[in-house]
Amino acid sequence: MTTAVLSPVYTGQVKTPSTFSLIVRNVMDALAESRARSAARELRRHEALMADLGRRQDHSADFLIQGNDLPFKI
């Protein structure tokens, strides 16, 4: 039995992405992933701060004294 192999070179124009566009796409993907990780980290910090403030308010009478500094700027 004979098998014929047809190379894509002979079938017509095959569009392949350029090296520059691949590099740009990889850089943009890495940037988006980095921004997503940074946003998730900030969200975890914010949730931890809110939980900490909630615990202080519930369990500490000192929290209600207005002379104490808050752990963040208003």
Q: What angle do CA 46, 40, 23 make, to 5 degrees?
A: 150
Per-position pLDDT tens, the chain of length 74: 556 555 655 556 656 678 988 999 999 999 999 999 999 999 999 999 888 887 766 555 555 555 666 666 66
pLDDT at 35: 96
**Burial (0-12, 13-18, 19+ Cβ within 10 Å), 53:** middle
Q: What does the pLDDT read at residue 60?
A: 54
User: Whole-angstrom Cα distance, residue 57 to residue 52?
Assistant: 9
Residues 56 and 63: beta-carbon distance below 8 Å: yes
**Phi, psi dihedrals of residue 70, rounded to the nearest 5°:** -80, 155
Residue 39: the pLDDT is: 95
